[in-house]
Amino acid sequence: MERHYGWVIVAVGALMGCIGMGSMFSLAVFLDPIAAGTGWSHASISASMTIAFLAMGVGAFGWGWVSDRHGPRIVGIAGGLLLGTGLVLASRATSLLAFQLAYGLFIGTAVGAFFAPMMATASAWCDRNHALAVSLVSAGLGMAPVTVAPFAQWLLLSGYDWRTAQLVIGLLAWAILLPAALLLRRPPAMASAATAAAGPAGGGFTVRQALGSRQFVVLAATFFACCLAHSGPIFHVVSYAMVCGLSALAAVSVYSLQGLAGLGGRLLLGVLADRHGAKPVLIGGLLLQALAIGAFLPARNLGQFYAVAAVFGLAYGGVMPLYAVLVRDCFGTRIMGTVFGAATLASCVGMAAGPPVGGWIFDRFGDYAGMHLASLAVALGAVAIALTFSPVPRTGAERLEPA
């Protein structure tokens, strides 16, 4: 019965990821209304996402360390408090800098608490089908564009301004996430190993050994390039679709379809990884992601956008949880929160670059062609890096290759 509680943890982690990531990415829906209402440029508003992703990466590393040592409940509570606070403060901001800091630092740090720590906790709870468990937690992130983003768009269409809409989302985040965080519990394996977290146990690795290994460096570099490639196309798809002539509601539906396809991709690739191994599935997903990014260039009508968004969402959504699976396979569950948090930090640096670069390209040239071409090149680079990854059995630190 104790082990079955792991699926409760999976559900809570998915819920937190959905609301956290959905709140952060709802800035894509608010981008044009904020620009119209304040006079701030697309690039400067998009810079809030840069700050948010950097804060998310640093937060994921720090929260992963806290979760490994003190359990996930305190991490979940802190994340819920920070998310609601960030949305409330951003909705009241009267200067660009205040908005960037409130949205970026608070929300980014909060989402860091819902990403790496929740995936690591779910993986430790579920010994069997751990790739599927991690994928289900990650599926919460995939639900974000089909829940929070449409809700934000509905608030705007109902006559609320962007400030009121963000305030409402912030209050709801408090109301939902804080009670949910109380359901989080330390998995039995983590509880027994908590006091040994600073050193090897049972033939495992120290954090220093893991982070200094070639396996980690290659994995983190792949994660970085993957996220650098897809962050711009994800964030700017609403604006890009509108530039191509789609209505605001249709453009948001494209964004939502990406998220829905990402949900399916997480489940599909998670099952495939349990059966065939995470590395080959990751490489296939990265290649599909690159092809989909290139396919955005000729897309012009709604049907074409739907087709490309479905493939793109399936690919980028499906590969995201596989990095956590590879971390577990290489380094085990005892230090997984810290190690995956460090890999997430690398990925968030990549995610941070895409939105402002895309915004700058649009402000400078009036279109997003350059962004998609650059993203395609980086996506193919991610495939090349992933091909060099050599996972090792978790049998001892001597099996790691130094970086």
Determine the 3-state secondary structure of 266 from DSSP: helix
Give the integer Cα–Cα distance in Å for 73 and 87: 22
Select from 1.10.150.120, 1.20.1250.20, 1.40.20.10, 3.30.420.10 the CATH code of 3-186+204-394: 1.20.1250.20
Q: Which of 87, 102, 254 is nearest to 171 (CA)?
A: 87
Q: Give strand ranges (E) for 167-257.
A: none
Q: Which pLDDT band holds residue 202 (cuts at 50, 70, 90)?
A: very low
Please state the rounded mean pLDDT for residues 266-286: 91
**DSSP letter assigned to residue 103:** I
Give the integer Cα–Cα distance in Å for 151 and 171: 14
Lowest mean pLDDT among 107-111, 195-199, 359-363: 195-199
269: pLDDT strictly greater than 70: yes
State the pLDDT at residue 335. Answer: 87
Percent of the chain with pLDDT over 70: 92
Give the integer Cα–Cα distance in Å for 319 and 131: 11
**DSSP letter assigned to residue 71:** -
Give the integer Cα–Cα distance in Å for 101 and 211: 30
State the pLDDT at residue 206. Answer: 84
**What does the block give as tokens for 336?**
């997984």
Indicate the pTM of the whole model: 0.78
Please state the rounded mean pLDDT for residues 371-391: 94
Question: How far is CA 375 from each of CA 153, 198, 234, 249, rounded to the nearest angstrom?
Answer: 27, 39, 11, 26
Determine the 3-state secondary structure of 213 from DSSP: strand
Angle, CA 111 vertex, CA 83 and CA 88 arms, to 5°: 20
Give the integer Cα–Cα distance in Å for 78 and 177: 10
Domain segments of the chain: what residues? 3-186+204-394
Task: Classify residue 382 as exposed, middle or buried by CB count within 10 Å of its CB (0-12, 13-18, 19+).
Answer: buried
239: pLDDT strictly greater than 90: no
* 3-state percent breakdown (helix, strand, coil) of the chain, nearest 5: 80, 0, 15
State the pLDDT at residue 6. Answer: 86
pLDDT in tens, 24-67: 988 888 988 999 999 998 878 888 888 888 899 999 999 999 99
State the pLDDT at residue 397. Answer: 46
**What does the block give as tokens for 391?**
């996972």
Q: In DSSP terms, which residues pair with 213 in a beta bridge?
A: 402
